[in-house]
Amino acid sequence: MSQLLWPLVRFLLLIEVAASVNFFHHRYEQLVQALFNVHNECPDITRIYTIGRSVQGRHLYVLEFSDNPGIHEPLEPEFKYVGNMHGNEVLGRELLLQLSEFLCEEYHRRNERLTRLIWDTRIHILPSMNPDGYEVAANQDPDAIGYLMGRNNANGIDLNRNFPDLNTFMYYNEKNGGPNHHIPLPANWKSQVEPETLAVIHWMSRYNFVLSANLHGGALVANYPYDKAQEQRSRGYQRKSNTPSPTPDDKLFRKLAKAYSYAHHSMHQSPTCGEQFADGITNGASWYSLSKGMQDFNYLYTNCFEITLELSCDKFPPQKDLEKEWLVNREALITYLEEVHQGIKGLVSDENNNGIAGAVISVNGIGHDVTSGDQGDYFRLLLPGTYTITASADGYRPQTATVTVGPAGPSLVSCAEVGERCVVQIVPLAIQPGPQVTKDIGWSCSTHTYFSGSQQWRELAGPDSCQVPFPTAFPFLSG
Ligand SMILES: [Zn+2]
């Protein structure tokens, strides 16, 4: 090859690496490559980390988008998308890769809406929670794949039936008094969950997620908690299979589910995959009751509100449909993400302006509380309306305030020093204080640094559980 042509060929190769994620089913190595490609295209606003390994040792990679990757900025909410929990339900996995590429490219194009979203939100994307199951499903003949082939993890366990069952405690507390938020885990829980589930529970504990969606397939509906029906114990009572099991946040969950179904091209019209759903949404238990699911666990153990999105009649859609499915879901994926900014947020602090972690934020009339994060900031998703909210913490006098949530954007409510202790103070959104930039607490993976310019990365610090292996198997071009 001539000396003159070689630079041109190299240039074209680099263009190809930087090109779009493309519409094909990504095997594990291709998925990892795609995530690193997006990171290399947008190194300033992304970070790749792993939350653990599958049974067969594949990494559960997360791609984070933020104006300050690796850092929790107080008052900036954390959001997550989880795909491919059932290994044979693969559309979510591909949609999340497309979404990652889209966020990166639109940021480069200075798309105002998405740039603002990335500036104001910390977005975590886990394209595959069950990479082992995916490989089993992907190895089948697409025309002859069994309905359940690859659904479970490599130990044969359904991960959406594998979280600690906190609903039983919640129903007990409902009758006898006790919280329905941050319910303690049973003593032996770790021995009863799979590695993938354990990794996700640790992930949920390390980040104060506010809103989430779990992407599945096999139907077309947005499903909201609770998934588990309250058992009817009275003898002789024939329990209907479609008994709804609403949370105290039922109205909010319906609105969140509709945010997706109405922004989706057709979900709200409830086209049939055999079943009809009004508005394209359903309460989980009203559809069919299941125990130990992930969305109920989010609500009962963390501050996070999660819904489950069933995105395609066909669990493993043909490759030719992927581009169409992306266009059908694109607006809905963005619209749902923006819902993380609907409600109130603020800071709970002591008389010295130190943030109080674990303070309880209660909303009068809604029987479900949230708590403040490590730096004292809290987020409470709410529908438009006027609310009386109370902040309380051990050793402090509770403080109450009235706050109005408008139809657009969050109200900022802070808890600043007044008198000897803490008061909730309403601060207009326009004078929202600049966030203090602080390193993540308790998540030393954030100390990893990636050097995308040379297409390599180095690990600076972090325990073994956080190590991300250098992906030597993947054909990175050297710089
Ligand atoms: Zn599923």
Provide DSSP, 28-79: HHHHHHHHHHHHHHSTTTEEEEEEEE-TTS-EEEEEEE-SSTTEEPTT--EE
Burial of 168: CB neighbours in 10 Å, binned 0-12, 13-18, 19+ = middle
Neighbouring CB atoms inside 10 A of 402's CB total 12
Place of tokens 């199951």: 133
Distance from residue 450's CA to the centre of ligand 1 (Å): 34
Distance from residue 160's CA to the centre of ligand 1 (Å): 7
How high is the pLDDT of residue 103? 97
pLDDT exceeding 70 applies to what percent of the chain? 78
Q: Which residue has the higher pLDDT, 473 or 342?
A: 342
pLDDT, mean of residues 457-477: 27
Q: Is 353 helix (H, G, I), strand (E, B) or coil?
A: coil
The mean of the pLDDT values for the chain is: 81
Length reported for the chain: 479
Place of tokens 């697409």: 142
Torsion sign over Cα 340, 37, 327, 85: negative
User: pLDDT digits over 307-339, tens only?
Assistant: 999 999 999 999 999 999 999 999 999 999 999
Q: Is 263 helix (H, G, I), strand (E, B) or coil?
A: helix
CA distance 374 to 389: 20
pLDDT at 261 over 80: yes
pLDDT, mean of residues 472-476: 24
pLDDT, mean of residues 277-290: 93
How high is the pLDDT of residue 230? 83
How high is the pLDDT of residue 409? 57
Indicate the pTM of the whole model.
0.82
How high is the pLDDT of residue 127? 98
How high is the pLDDT of residue 53? 97
CA distance 457 to 69: 15
Judge whether 351 and 420 are in contact, CB under 8 Å: yes
Distance from residue 90's CA to the centre of ligand 1 (Å): 9
| Structure tokens given for 475 | 């054909």
CA nearest neighbour of 383 among 329, 311, 305, 308: 305
User: pLDDT digits over 187-242, tens only?
Assistant: 999 999 999 999 999 999 999 999 999 999 999 999 999 999 987 544 344 444 57
| Distance set, CA 282 to CA 85, 368, 470 (Å) | 20, 20, 43
Distance from residue 443's CA to the centre of ligand 1 (Å): 29
| pLDDT tier for residue 352 given thresholds of 50, 70 and 90 | confident
Distance from residue 190's CA to the centre of ligand 1 (Å): 23
Judge whether 97 and 52 are in contact, CB under 8 Å: no
pLDDT, mean of residues 413-424: 41
| pLDDT tier for residue 368 given thresholds of 50, 70 and 90 | very high
Judge whether 306 and 200 are in contact, CB under 8 Å: no
| Distance set, CA 156 to CA 27, 55, 433 (Å) | 20, 10, 50
Give all domains of the chain, ordered by start, each with its CATH number.
5-341 (3.40.630.10), 343-435 (2.60.40.1120)
How high is the pLDDT of residue 411? 61
CA distance 266 to 269: 5
User: pLDDT digits over 56-83, tens only?
Assistant: 999 999 999 999 999 999 889 999 999 9
| pLDDT tier for residue 20 given thresholds of 50, 70 and 90 | low
pLDDT at 477 over 60: no
Q: Which residues are catalytic?
A: 310
